[in-house]
Chains A and B, each alone.
Chain A
Amino acid sequence: RKEVEQDPGPFNVPEGATVAFNCTYSNSASQSFFWYRQDCRKEPKLLMSVYSSGNEDGRFTAQLNRASQYISLLIRDSKLSDSATYLCVVNRRTNFGNEKLTFGTGTRLTIIP
């Protein structure tokens, strides 16, 4: 089983709609969580960190469910510019005390005019 799993999509969603992505992680020692956005042939860029209490940034809401080991991203009132691949990222400490960041393979979103 992969340490981080995402539905690869693609999600094709009309402009203005609400879309939600889920991501599951297998290691219960995971401590911090992020959503990154990656445009075609570009580098990933941090979209938002995910906090235990859930957090919102404009049209974007992130939730963490530690008991079920998943995180989610909700995009409201989607814009054409939201078209991208969304990467779920999970961070934990290894047995050697190092950070280990694991990336999901990403969920591809296309917003349709």
Chain B
Amino acid sequence: DGGITQSPKYLFRKEGQNVTLSCEQNLNHDAMYWYRQDPGQGLRLIYYSQIVNDFQKGDIAEGYSVSREKKESFPLTVTSAQKNPTAFYLCASSVGQGPLNQPQHFGDGTRLSIL
């Protein structure tokens, strides 16, 4: 089955620690995205990548880093500089090319909490 896999489902971070969230897709999509969702708020874009070896900052990139070395993979690192990392993190992908009527499809998310 094609889809987007995020791991782990739950993650705990200690103070001063960097943690990496995994996102893998086998949909052959060019574009991948990371969002953060806080209670009562909409999804906010952290980083996105429209092609391998290229990525762009979203609206709230500070304290996060990403890489896109392979088409299928777009890991997100939450660094110690991110002072309020507790949130629900969602990875998405889309076809990315062509007209703007291609929806994004989401993985089932990672819940990150501070210890």
Interface on A for B, CB 8 Å cutoff? 4, 8, 31-32, 34, 41-46, 49, 87, 89, 91-93, 98-99, 101-106
Contacts and interface: CB of A to CB of B under 8 A. Distances in A.
Contacts, number: 52
Contacts of B56: 98
Contacts of A34: 103
Interface residues on B, range: 20 to 34
A46 B105 contact: yes
A41 B88 CA distance: 8
Contacts of A46: 103-105
Interface in B68-115: 88, 90, 94, 96, 99-101, 103-109
A16 B6 CA distance: 36
Q: Name the 3 nearest CB pairs between A and B, nearest first.
A: A43-B106, A105-B42, A103-B42
